[in-house]
Amino acid sequence: MQINQQRLRSDIESNAEFGSVPTDEGRGRTVLTGSEADRRAREFFCERLRDAGLELTIDAVGNIVGRWCPESADPDAAPVATGSHLDSVPEGGIFDGPLGVYAGLESVRAMQDAGLAPERPIDVVSFTEEEGQRFDGGLIGSAVATGDMTTDAALAIEDADGVPLGDALADIGYRGEGRLDASAWDAWIELHIEQAERLETAGVPAGVVTSVVGLSRCRVEISGEADHAGSTLMTDRSDALAAASEFVLDVERAANDRRSESETVVGTVGKLDVSPNAPNVIPGTVALTIDVRDVDRDSIAHVIDEARTSLDRLETERGVETSLEHPWDRPPVAMSDRCRDALSAAGEAADLGTLALHSGAGHDTMHVADVTDAALLFAPSRDGISHNPLEWTDWDDCADATRVLAGALAELATS
């Protein structure tokens, strides 16, 4: 099989025009679910699927599937599937998501060009709202496809303006029918940019992921007393932001201390809402989030336990009131040996080196791995930058990673 690098590049660059944003450096795009940019990106993808002779379906939450079922394939056999997502973060890069979508399509076209005769159909998929930028939570399309969320629950999720996902999809013409069932797939492989520097540092064109980190997210509130910044003595204050500052450092310290047990554990406080958020008022309340990730679930639990201990200390020492909710907890997910072996063999057959590594970011594959054999393949990211217009994967690396993907898909679809 030969990957047509120019064809793959053309698809990704064309997709980059939808929601493109002006930048001094790099190439940025903003594609929020249900936006005009989302409609145009979906429309272009559907056109490319049809051009390649794939049968198109769209489910009720907007998941798009193109199925290639050549005469050699049993139409009743469980398909092999691949893909990713087309939505982006605000002012994100052009490869995060679209590389996996269009590499999947290019893999099918390469098989067609080579005259391969797979025994199973091959599905090329774009999942809805992976990033969770407009409709909170992320991974919504794959959650529905794997039964982790009901269709009705997904369609009812509202954005900041109270618009339900179902209405947003209907507005752009991509609220379809039925439900994509990922458990009906024989196997799934997602190609994604690495969003780290390990492949670039090693000089390796493709990474075969061993596991995806578990992810826990907590909501914390710290309440003190808002008061006048000029007339309230330092000894009389109950400053919620000062307490929150100590808490942030305690979370960082807990993750660093745990590295002696697991070097991959990370803890982040990435969002704070300060009230009343005025320059001459002592902060009365701070709401914040903790994001903890690792391949070792015990390490995640340890950091969260240390966060609770920190809050208890702050209540005693600073006179604040605190609360911690733990609404999101996904365990680490191991990738399928069968799919990983297919990727490694495809890399060897194409004379391309591969590197075994874990994924520190969550992807739709986290959900799919719950219901069928699944794997995640990484392409190098320049300087590890992502979610940024400077995000970049060289076109040669895009083609090489796609060559590995195509080889693995061909193997899985004929075995």
pLDDT tens per residue across span 274-316 = 999 999 999 999 999 999 999 999 999 999 999 999 999 999 9
- In this structure, are 191 and 130 located in the same domain? yes
Q: Output the pLDDT for position 281.
A: 98
- In this structure, are 183 and 222 located in the same domain? no
Residue 220 gets the label, from left (phi > 0), alpha (psi -120 to 50) or beta, of beta
Q: How far from 116 is each of 80, 146, 409, CA to CA, in Å?
A: 15, 30, 11
Which structural domain, as residue segments, surrounds residue 153?
5-212+332-412
- In this structure, are 25 and 172 located in the same domain? yes
- In this structure, are 336 and 326 located in the same domain? no
Helix spans in 157-230 (H):
165-171, 198-202
Position 81 pLDDT exceeds 80: yes
Taking alpha carbons only, the member of 402, 375, 403 closest to residue 210 is 375
Examine the fold and report which residue of 278, 305, 330 is the final residue of a domain before the chain moves on: 330
- In this structure, are 160 and 306 located in the same domain? no
- In this structure, are 294 and 360 located in the same domain? no
Examine the fold and report which residue of 272, 304, 330 is the final residue of a domain before the chain moves on: 330
- In this structure, are 127 and 13 located in the same domain? yes
Average of per-residue pLDDT across 259-266 = 94
Instruction: Encode pLDDT of 103-155 as tens digits.
Output: 999 999 999 999 999 999 999 999 999 999 999 878 999 999 999 999 999 99
What's the rounded Cα separation, in Å, for the pair 69 and 71? 7
Average of per-residue pLDDT across 180-192 = 98
Backbone torsions φ then ψ of 177, nearest 5 degrees: -135, 155
Task: Give pTM, 2 decimals.
Answer: 0.89
| CATH number of the domain where residue 155 is located | 3.40.630.10
| CA 47 distance to own-chain centroid | 24
- In this structure, are 124 and 57 located in the same domain? yes
Q: Output the pLDDT for position 362.
A: 78
- In this structure, are 231 and 363 located in the same domain? no
Question: How many distinct structural domains can be found in the chain?
Answer: 2
- Dmax over CA atoms of the chain, in Å, equals 82
Q: Output the pLDDT for position 105.
A: 98
Position 409 pLDDT exceeds 90: yes
Backbone torsions φ then ψ of 410, nearest 5 degrees: -60, -40
Q: Output the pLDDT for position 9.
A: 98
